[in-house]
Structure 1
Amino acid sequence: MPRLQLMPPLLLLLVSSLHAQEPGTTSSVEVTSTRRPDMALPMTEAALAQQWGLREEEFDRFRTLMQGPLGTYSPNLDPLSALGIEARTDAERRRYALLQVEAEAARVERLLAYQRAYDQAWKDRFPAMALVNSPPMSSPVTTNATLKKAVFVRYDCSECERLIKQLQTSGTAFDLYVVDSEQDDKRVRQWVQKAGIMPNKIRDGSITINHDNGRWASISTGGVLPAVMNQVNGKWLRQ
C-alpha cells in the first residue's frame, strides 16, 4: 500500500488561501499603523532643554558628554549635574549650580505638596486608622526636646538591621525611617521585629518608627543605606 504523505500545516494554509482567491485577481495585503492616534510623540530636544532651563546647544553638549567617559562612569547623571561637573569656566559652573538649586527646591516643594495631600487623603479615607508615624517631612526633628538622629533603612537590608541593634545597645535615641515601606504598616512592623527593636523603646519615645514618604530624598543627596543623619545648624549631615 502506498504511504500517505501529509502536507505541512503552513503549506496547507498557503495552498488553501490561493484556492480561495478569485481567478485573475492578485492578492493584496493591507498594512495598518500600530501606533494609537493618541500616543504621545517623543519630546523634542528643544522641549527637553527647556525643562532643565537650558539652551539647545547646552543640551546637545550634555548628550555629547554622556557618550564619553562621564556617561560610562555616571550613566544616570541629570543634565545640570553633568554640565556642572564638566564646566569649562567658573561662570558656567555657577550657572549650572544655580539652576540645579532652583530645580531641586521646586522638586522638594512638589514632594511636600503631595505629602500634605497624601496625609489629608489618609485622614479622609481612614479617619480611625493612624499611620505608623507621620512627623513633618521637611524636618524629621523639629525641637530640641525631641532632638534625635534620623536613621534611614531599607526593608531587605541585613546591614540596616545590624546598625539598628548597635544603636539600641549604645542607648542612642533615633527616628527610624523605612525608605521602601510602600506605605504598608504591616511591612514596617515586620521589619521592626526582624531588627529586634524593643517595644519599651518605642513606648517611651526614644525610638520612633516611620514611613519615609520621601524624606530621604528631600534631605539627602542619595547614597547607600543605612544612613544616620544629624541636624547641624538647620542642615542634615550624614554621620
Structure 2
Amino acid sequence: MKKSIILLAMMAASGSVLALGPKVHYADLNVREVVKTDDVGVTAVDEFKVDGITIELTREDKVKAKNWNLSRSDWAKYKYIMEYTPRGAWSPDLDPPIALGIEAETRAEQEKYAKLANQLEWERRQKELGFQSVGIDMLVHISPGLFDKEVDEGLSQWLPDKRKVLRSVFISRVDCDFKCQDFLFSTVANKGADTHVVIYTDQSHDYVYSLYARSGWKYSALQEKGVEIKVDPEKMAEISKTVNQSPPFYVQQKSLDSSENIIRVMRR
C-alpha cells in the first residue's frame, strides 16, 4: 500500500503520466432473471445471469436475502461479487449491503445500500441496548445495591471494559486522501490495550467501513479492537473549534481535566 502511495505522489509531483499496463477490467454487474416454467405451467425465478455467469439461489439464499432486506437479484449480485471479483478476497467479512454499496455503479445505488446498511445497524444497536437494559434491571433485582458502590475516578467509569484512555479520531470526507487514511489506520492500530477509540465522521458508518475495505482491511478488525464509530457533524465542528484544528486529528484523554489532553494532527 505504501509503495502505491509513493508512486502516486511521484506522478503528481512530476506531472507525468505513467503507463500502468492494460486497463483494469470491471465486471458487468447488471443482473438478468432466468425464468423457468415447469411441466404444469408454474414459473419461478431461481437463477440469475451476472456478467455471463449463472447464479443459482438456494432456499437458504432466499431466506438470507429476505432477512437482510435484499431482493433476490441483489443477493445474486452479492454472491457474484464475493465469489468472482477481487472484493471477495479483499474484504471477505463485509456485510451484504456494504459489499453491494461499495461495488455500486451509480450514486442512486450507493444511497440505496447505504440507507439499508444504516437502518440495519440502527436496528441492531436498538436490540442490543434493549437487551442490555433488561440485563441491568435483572442484576439490580438480584443484587440490590450492586451499583451503589463507589466508582473509580477518571474516565474508566464511562468507557467499555474499564479502559482508562479515550482516543477520539475526527475524519472528514471532504479531504480524506491517502495520507488522511494512513493517519486514521495508524491511529487506530497503534492504540494501547487500555485505550478506547471512537471515530467521529461527518458522513455515515459506511464511509468509514469503505475506507478500510478499499485498503484491504477487514471490518472484523475494527470489531476486534472494539472501535466505535459515531456520525456527529456537530460534535466534530465543536471540537475542531475548541482545539483550533481541522480534521484529520485525534484527541486523547486520560482524565476529566482537559489540560491533560493530548492532541495529534496529521502533518500536511
Question: Please, what TM-score do these two structures have when normalized by structure 1?
Answer: 0.43
Output the TM-score relative to the length of structure 2.
0.39
Greater strand proportion: 2
Of structures 1 and 2, the larger Rg is shown by 1
